[in-house]
Homo-oligomer: A and B are copies of this chain.
Amino acid sequence: VERPRPNLSFWFEFGSTYSYLAALTLEEAASAAGVQIEWRPFLLGPIFRAQGWDTSPFNLYPAKGRAMWRDMERQCKALGLPLVRPEPFPQNSLLAARVAVVGRQEGWVAAFSKAMFRTEFGTGLRLDDPATVALVLSQCGLDASRVLSLAATEAVKQALRAATDEALSLGVFGAPTYIAADGELFWGHDRQMQALGWARSGAAAD
Q: A-side interface residues toward B, CB under 8 Å?
A: 51, 61, 63-64, 66-67, 70-71, 74, 171-174, 184-187, 190-191, 194
Contact assessment for A194 and B64 in the assembled complex, using a CB-CB cutoff below 8 Å: no
Query: Which residue from B63, B71, B173 sits with its C-beta under 8 Å from A67?
Result: B173
B51 & A171 in contact (Cβ 8 Å cutoff): no
Bound CA–CA A71/B194 (angstroms): 10
From known contacts A51-B61, A61-B51, infer whether A67 and B171 are also in contact, taking CB-CB under 8 Å.
Answer: yes
Contact between chains at B190 and A64 (CB < 8 Å): no
Contact assessment for B71 and A174 in the assembled complex, using a CB-CB cutoff below 8 Å: no
Q: Give chain B residues whose Cβ lies under 8 Å from the Cβ of A171.
A: 63, 66-67
A61 cross-chain contacts in B, Cβ below 8 A: 51, 173
When distances are taken between beta carbons in the complex, the residues of chain B under 8 Å from A191 are: 71
A166 to B27, CA, bound (A): 42
Task: Report chain B residues within 8 Å CB of A66.
Answer: 171
Q: Are B194 and A67 in contact (CB under 8 A)?
A: no
Query: Please, which residue of chain B has its CB at the minimum distance from the CB of A74?
Result: B194
Q: Name the B residues within 8 Å of A64 (CB-CB).
A: 173-174, 187
Minimum CB–CB distance for A51 against chain B, Å = 6
Within the assembled complex, what's the spacing in Å between the Cα atoms of A71 and B186? 7
Q: Shortest CB–CB separation between residue A17 and chain B, in angstroms?
A: 14
CB neighbours of A173 from chain B (8 A): 61, 63-64, 67
Q: How far is the CA of A187 from the CA of B56 in the complex (A)?
A: 18
What is the CA–CA distance of A194 and B74 in the complex, to the nearest angstrom? 9
| Centre residue among A63, A70, A71, A185 by max chain B CB count within 10 A | A63
A184 proximity list for chain B (CB < 8 A): 70
In the complex, besides A67-B185, A67-B187, A71-B191, 12 extra interface pairs with C-beta distance below 8 angstroms are A63-B171, A63-B172, A63-B173, A64-B173, A64-B187, A66-B171, A67-B171, A67-B173, A70-B184, A71-B187, A74-B194, A190-B190
Which residues on the B side are within 8 Å of A190 (C-beta)?
A: 190
